[in-house]
Each structure stands twice: as structure tokens, then as C-alpha cells.
Amino acid sequence: MKQLFACVFLLLASTICFAEYTEEIEAATTWLGLVDSGDYAESWEQSASLLQVKIKKKQWQETMDQMRAPLGAALSRKIVQAGSKKRLDGLPRGKYVLFIVETNFSGQSGATEIITVKNDDDEWRVTGYVIQ
């Protein structure tokens, strides 16, 4: 729990550099908390409708079990880049913010997480998540 709190704190501390994205960072941080705790079903529930249409809940859970679970606990995160977009390849026009985050997991250091949030019914929700 202390590691999760420290990781979330570090991500929120990054908001100083990206102050214009406070709401978007808060949405991404809350969502990442679900992923970090292994609650993949709820992370799907809390995702943007675009993500839910592209991948069914059960498939999301299986994918996250294979992709995210083996990495272990998130020890630290730092937003290294953020940018707003109105258009992303393969997605409808809208208000998007893309975050590139350097992440150290207990099972892999130096990973990059790419998190995309979308304004979905006046609420920012995750619509994309990739780990490299």
C-alpha cells in the first residue's frame, strides 16, 4: 500500500510541470490505481466508452493479466510528456490528452506507459493504455 501511495504521489507531483492537465492527470491516476491493484474489471468499467466498444470486459481482463500483472508493483511513475489532441488515428474527433509516463515496476524498470484520456460526457476517462 505504501508503494502504491508513493507511486500515485509521484504521478500527482508531476502535475506541477503539466498544470493545465490537472483533471486529466487525476482521471488517469485514479484509473491506474485500479490497474495497479489488479482490479482490471473495474478499470474496464471506468474506461471511456470507446475502449469498452473495442474490447470486451473479459478480453480486457485476460489481456491485462498477461501484459500488466507480470510486471509487478508500480514503484514510481513520472510524466515525461503530455499533449492534447483533437484527432488520433482510428478514433473519432474529440478532446484527448496523451501522457507518456516513465514507470519502474518491481519486475521491470524503465518501462514506458502511454495513457490516453478522452473527455467522455464531461468526464475524463481512459481510452487507451499501452506498456512498452
Q: Could you tell me the fold of the domain covering 2-131?
A: Nuclear Transport Factor 2; Chain: A, (3.10.450)
What pLDDT is recorded for position 17? 62
Q: How many helices (H) and strands (E) does the chain have?
A: 5, 4
Residues 6+ apart with CB under 8 A from 6: 75, 76
Question: To 10 degrees, what angle do helices 2-13 and 22-36 make?
Answer: 160
What is the sign, positive or negative, of the torsion defined by CA atoms of 115, 40, 24, 92? positive
Q: Which residues of the chain have pLDDT under 50?
A: 1-10, 13, 15-16
Q: How many Å apart are CA 72 and CA 69, to the nearest integer?
A: 6
The residue extents of the domains of the chain are 2-131
What pLDDT is recorded for position 11? 53
Question: What is the model's pTM?
Answer: 0.83
Query: Could you read off the pLDDT of 32-59 as tens digits, one per residue?
Result: 999 999 999 999 999 999 999 999 999 9
Q: How many Å apart are CA 5 and CA 76, to the nearest integer?
A: 10
